[in-house]
Structure 1
């Protein structure tokens, strides 16, 4: 075998091996129950209580319901007491679990002392850092963001500071007991250069890097810290867009994401979102961040939100 033939055979073998590994990883996403089985008592074995920020709506509400269905008592935090009380009653009536509510506006900087006092005596096994806000529902360039100065403070307080503070509050108890789960909700926009989502996507990049560093620091303590990065989920944050192959319900998203809790320090929460991430990451950056793409994305979001609004007004 001459050198060129050897080179081609080696190259071909490397390509086959590379795509074989890719296929294996994809099979893990398709069949999480086979690759990452969870005992029925997995979540309750972490502790008695689950804490969910932004727990009165959307993904947070779905996590609160699902973790209560798994047998955990739940603390839900949000800024609207009426909504919290309503959801708390629904969860309690449906699952029979205890539900505590804590009213907190995470865009403010002075809410954490009261939260810590309310959580002090609870054995917290699961923390879901879900709460997050967009600077504006319709994506826009940074300098075109309405009330930009306020938007910067609100987004950083809610999307960045809250996650770090809630980890600071709950991690010591988990470390002392040698077990616990922290789920930090990021966004699919963090995996690409999300032009016209600059402030939001950058805050979610922090979520991912902080979570991965924290997992490296506390993995040996028996604590799972995972980033979950959804793309389209039909919630208030997305204007309750109609569901399709990519945009899924919060309930479906949460059920699949919890099946991947032992799948590594980052998942996309569902097969369709993982596939979408791979597709987007294969598109050249120059195309994704082009002016034409920004305009099309903005118009697309406008149309979908308008359609969702029209459905709501006629229902």
Structure 2
């Protein structure tokens, strides 16, 4: 019995040490750009970004173009894609292709595959997503967009990965970044459907990485918390709420860190803090009241309606 407890203590110490090492690595990566441009370029000539018209998708498109990759922009609003394409072509030497597609529909993937034919796609950023309501709401109170949300948040990740992964497997290299959310790390009451859809992205990504790591392919899921984008109604930025461009620049340093990351140091710290809250407290009526009152007031005071 003594040996059992000694072994258990050693395992706990090792787990704590691993967390400390991970945190120190996050600190280092947040202050230093250690991933060379050549690493991203070695994945392939083209990067494909879904939901590229705004927010995080737009920021990834710009940053990957600055790193020397050609970019395929996919989103619903053609005008935004055209404006972004001109910006990228004007500020970099990268080539840009634009594909208009509505990811709430299920009949778009054959045409996307046709548009991508012949391109050496080395990076896929599955970013497109829907948030039914920024303010916390009970399930029956959110807009009735269940099928659209599932198509956008779940089906798009599976179908786009299916299109891009096979050529990556044959070349034995590639990078897939799946943008999930911090609310996927555990079931979040009052964000039920969004949390569940993003949890699928986490599970799918980590299982897929286990399958294809030996093929030389990196599949990483990112679980950020607040990022100021149109989807979050341009929340005021602070130490935790990041601008899309600064989040993306930092997240690219974490590419080789593992199959799951929050993408920036501030969100890693927040995730560690939230993980200390016991489940009984997290799912209590008191916590839900806090979300419906204090947190709702905070959001209302910090959002912007700018386009």
**Partner of residue 203, structure 1:** 197
- Per the TM alignment, residue 18 of structure 1 is displaced from its structure 2 partner at its CA by 4.5
SS of the residue corresponding to residue 41 of structure 1 reads: helix
SS of the residue corresponding to residue 196 of structure 1 reads: coil
Task: Tell me how far apart the structure 1 counterparts of residues 172 and 148 of structure 2 sit (CA, whole Å).
Answer: 34
Q: Does 1:267 align with 2:261?
A: yes
- The 5 Å alignment of 1:115-134 reads 115-134=112-131
- Per the TM alignment, residue 136 of structure 1 is displaced from its structure 2 partner at its CA by 2.1
- Per the TM alignment, residue 14 of structure 1 is displaced from its structure 2 partner at its CA by 6.5
Task: Tell me how far apart the structure 1 counterparts of residues 214 and 128 of structure 2 sit (CA, whole Å).
Answer: 27
In 2 relative to 1, CA 12–236 (structure 1 residues): closer, same or farther, beyond 3 Å?
same
In 2 relative to 1, CA 311–283 (structure 1 residues): closer, same or farther, beyond 3 Å?
same
- 1:69-103: CA deviation from partner (whole Å, max 9, x where unpaired): 00000011111111111111111111121111111
- Given candidates 212, 216, 221, the residue that maps to 1:218 is 212
Q: Does 1:93 align with 2:73?
A: no
Report the TM-score, using the length of structure 2 for normalisation: 0.92
Instruction: Check conservation: 1:233, 1:250, Cα contact below 8 A.
Output: yes
Task: Tell me how far apart the structure 2 counterparts of residues 292 and 177 of structure 1 sit (CA, whole Å).
Answer: 53
Task: Tell me how far apart the structure 2 counterparts of residues 181 and 8 of structure 1 sit (CA, whole Å).
Answer: 42
SS of the residue corresponding to residue 240 of structure 2 reads: coil
- Per the TM alignment, residue 244 of structure 1 is displaced from its structure 2 partner at its CA by 1.0
Instruction: Check conservation: 1:124, 1:170, Cα contact below 8 A.
Output: yes
Point out where structure 2 has 5 or more consecutive residues left out of the alignment.
none
SS of the residue corresponding to residue 146 of structure 1 reads: coil
- Per the TM alignment, residue 284 of structure 1 is displaced from its structure 2 partner at its CA by 0.8
Point out where structure 1 has 5 or more consecutive residues left out of the alignment.
none
Q: Does 1:160 align with 2:154?
A: yes
The alignment's C-alpha RMSD in Å is 2.5
**Partner of residue 139, structure 1:** 136
**Partner of residue 21, structure 1:** 18
- The 5 Å alignment of 1:1-315 reads 17-32=14-29, 37-147=34-144, 151-309=145-303, 312=306
Instruction: Check conservation: 1:234, 1:241, Cα contact below 8 A.
Output: yes
- Per the TM alignment, residue 33 of structure 1 is displaced from its structure 2 partner at its CA by 8.0
- Per the TM alignment, residue 143 of structure 1 is displaced from its structure 2 partner at its CA by 1.6
Task: Tell me how far apart the structure 1 counterparts of residues 16 and 92 of structure 2 sit (CA, whole Å).
Answer: 44
Larger-Rg structure:
1
Task: Tell me how far apart the structure 2 counterparts of residues 98 and 259 of structure 1 sit (CA, whole Å).
Answer: 24
Task: Tell me how far apart the structure 2 counterparts of residues 230 and 263 of structure 1 sit (CA, whole Å).
Answer: 15
- Per the TM alignment, residue 29 of structure 1 is displaced from its structure 2 partner at its CA by 1.1
Task: Tell me how far apart the structure 2 counterparts of residues 311 and 104 of structure 1 sit (CA, whole Å).
Answer: 25
- Per the TM alignment, residue 293 of structure 1 is displaced from its structure 2 partner at its CA by 1.8
Deviates further, 300-309 or 217-226: 300-309
- Per the TM alignment, residue 15 of structure 1 is displaced from its structure 2 partner at its CA by 6.0
In 2 relative to 1, CA 89–195 (structure 1 residues): closer, same or farther, beyond 3 Å?
same
- Per the TM alignment, residue 304 of structure 1 is displaced from its structure 2 partner at its CA by 4.2
- Per the TM alignment, residue 312 of structure 1 is displaced from its structure 2 partner at its CA by 4.0
Report the TM-score, using the length of structure 1 for normalisation: 0.90
In 2 relative to 1, CA 189–172 (structure 1 residues): closer, same or farther, beyond 3 Å?
same
- Per the TM alignment, residue 164 of structure 1 is displaced from its structure 2 partner at its CA by 0.3
Deviates further, 17-26 or 155-164: 17-26
